[in-house]
Amino acid sequence: MYTFCIYLLLLVVSCNQTSQNKERDEFDISLLSKSNELQLSGEYEAFMNLNMSYLKKAEKMKYQAGKGLCYLNIAGVNVSSGNYEKALFFFNNAEKELKNSENNYHKATFYNDYSLYFNHLKLYNKAIECNNRAFYYIHRTPNSKIKDKLIPRVYINKGIFFAFKGWMGTSLKSFIKANELENSAYSNCMLAQYYLFTHQLQQAGIYVGKADEKMLSQKTSDVESLWVYFTMGYYYNEINNSAEAEKNLKKALEINIKTKRTYSTHIAGVYKSLAELYKKENDGGKAYYYLKNYMEEENKMESARFASMNKTTDDFISEMKTESEWQKSYLPLIIALSIFVLTVSGVYAQRLIKLLQKKKTNLKIETERLKSTVHNKMLEDVTELAKKNDSSFLMRFRELYPDFINSLLKINPDLENSELAFCAMLKLGFSSKEIADYTFVQHRSVQQKKYRIRKRLEISGEEDIYVFFDNLDK
């Protein structure tokens, strides 16, 4: 009888564990598939609401890893939009919830997404470190459909990171392996991008054709189709087929408008290719005009997209803070009861308060450090674009100093793009000689431009023009 009871108890526990594991597997698959669908369609508000509802569901299930996946999804969508500070907030929460997960797929997914975050910040060594950890955990994951989908993407990311590091052999092997496993429009595109990057146009053309074929024969998401059209436009631009290049690049922009979604690296590449296309045709005016119109459209969409995402994300963070404050409101009572029952002093409470203050200070320092890192990276990129006289310089400068251009246009709405770009270079502190060297004009021409800008912006002769621009957006 005793043995039978023990057996029965073990059977009940086993059944409960099996039922719980099944419920959690269903949770993971449902969350990941629905999130991916909404993210690829650009439906950010629905995406955020879905993950918040699943977060509450995970809370009821007492499923910590489920909460971690929700945080990870939200972090990922913020990374793709350049919202790095909020991305880090959710990555930290995801890491905390997934820390004790015994599911290796969870950890592989975390490190794969985290590697993309560091890639966006151009911290390639950290990106590679996370990528290696993703491989470590994915190879210890049982075979499944979701594992089969993740592995090639981890290889693709490895190829990207090593390409940026200049390790082209390892990069190519990673892209080839990914394409063997996935053989999709996107994986063929990445091989085409590799060969375009290394100026092997014949090989690039082969994989551009395969990517186009896969896009037409498979059900490809809008975001991946955007990437295919961009790659095709990039390729045709390189082989001087202007008509095909323009057609494909415009299709990429149409998809971007349709989905209200922007992967910053994708669209920046489209703009750059279009500018180069018209520059090759010696149509400088049209190149700048075209870039300006699309830049304005992009800024409108970006503002709306960030406003929507930030509002939903801020509401979510506010809700979390409210819950935290609600819990803190019981702290005095708990302390009082502890003193009453255990007859202890208030030393513990003081230590706790000091610890919380220290954590708050450290968080503030870390936030400021992150802001400074992101700003410095963007400033470095913009400065390099200016030195190369790159057509996308003004657009990237505007992202770094959004109020500067607006302030100039308030003073004089008739300023042209070339004048705005000149003011931007002065804002960056370039000397007249440096501007002349970078823009391939004579030193005297730069001095004349400075004189005209003073008149256009009504800057007095006594005021230092560099000081004026430095203080303009403060």
CATH code (residue 428): 1.10.10.10
- Domain end, chosen from 313, 345, 379, is at 313
Cβ within 8 Å of residue 175, ≥6 positions away: 155, 156, 159, 187, 190, 191, 194
Number of independent structural domains in the chain: 2
248 contacts 229 by C-beta, under 8 angstroms: yes
Instruction: Evaluate whether residue 5 is within a structural domain.
Output: no
Cβ within 8 Å of residue 154, ≥6 positions away: 108, 112, 131, 134, 135, 138
Please report where in the chains the tokens 């993740």 appear, as a residue.
150
422 contacts 394 by C-beta, under 8 angstroms: no
The pLDDT assigned to 177 comes to 96
Cβ within 8 Å of residue 141, ≥6 positions away: 103, 104, 105, 108, 147
280 contacts 241 by C-beta, under 8 angstroms: no
- Core vs surface per residue 57-96: b (16+ CB within 10 A) or e: bbeeeebebbbbbbbbbbbbbbbbbbbbebbbbbbebbbe
The pLDDT assigned to 59 comes to 87
- Domain end, chosen from 264, 292, 313, is at 313
Three-state DSSP at 63 gives coil
Instruction: Evaluate whether residue 297 is within a structural domain.
Output: yes
Instruction: Evaluate whether residue 128 is within a structural domain.
Output: no
Three-state DSSP at 78 gives helix
User: Chain centroid to CA 83: how far?
Assistant: 7
The pLDDT assigned to 326 comes to 46
The pLDDT assigned to 308 comes to 44
Instruction: Evaluate whether residue 261 is within a structural domain.
Output: yes
Q: Which of 194, 186, 193, 187 is nearest to 167 (CA)?
A: 194
The verdict on 189 and 309 lying in the same domain is yes
- Domain end, chosen from 256, 279, 313, is at 313
Paired tokens of 349: 């409470």
Q: Which of 421, 443, 444 is nearest to 433 (CA)?
A: 443
d(CA 459, CA 411): 11
Instruction: Evaluate whether residue 172 is within a structural domain.
Output: no
Domain of residue 434, residue span: 402-474
- Residue at 197: amino acid letter: F
Please report where in the chains the tokens 């430095």 appear, as a residue.
470
Residue 238's CATH number: 1.25.40.10
Long-range contacts of 51-57 (CB under 8 A, 24+ apart): 52/316, 54/27, 57/27
d(CA 236, CA 233): 5
- Residue at 306: amino acid letter: F
The pLDDT profile of the chain, 474 residues, written as one tens digit per residue, is 555 445 544 444 344 445 667 788 788 888 877 877 777 666 777 888 888 888 888 888 888 888 888 888 888 877 776 677 788 888 888 888 888 888 888 899 999 999 988 887 788 899 999 999 999 999 998 888 888 989 999 999 999 999 988 899 999 999 999 999 999 999 999 999 999 888 899 999 999 999 999 988 887 877 788 889 989 998 998 898 989 988 998 888 888 777 655 455 566 677 777 777 877 777 667 677 666 655 665 565 455 445 444 555 565 556 555 555 545 555 555 555 455 444 444 444 455 566 556 655 655 565 565 556 656 777 888 888 889 888 888 888 888 887 888 888 889 988 888 899 999 999 999 999 999 988 888 989 999 999 999 999 988 888 898 899 888 876
Neighbour-count burial of 175, counting CB atoms closer than 10 A to its CB (0-12 exposed, 13-18 middle, 19+ buried): buried
Instruction: Evaluate whether residue 10 is within a structural domain.
Output: no
SS (H, E, C) 208-275: HHHHHHHHHHCCCCHHHHHHHHHHHHHHHHHCCCHHHHHHHHHHHHHHHHHHCCCCHHHHHHHHHHHH
The verdict on 309 and 428 lying in the same domain is no
The verdict on 305 and 192 lying in the same domain is yes
Instruction: Evaluate whether residue 12 is within a structural domain.
Output: no
The pLDDT assigned to 2 comes to 54
The verdict on 301 and 417 lying in the same domain is no
Torsion of CA 415, 421, 427, 433, to 10 degrees: -120
Cβ-based neighbour number of residue 187 at 10 Å: 27
239 contacts 202 by C-beta, under 8 angstroms: no
d(CA 187, CA 203): 14
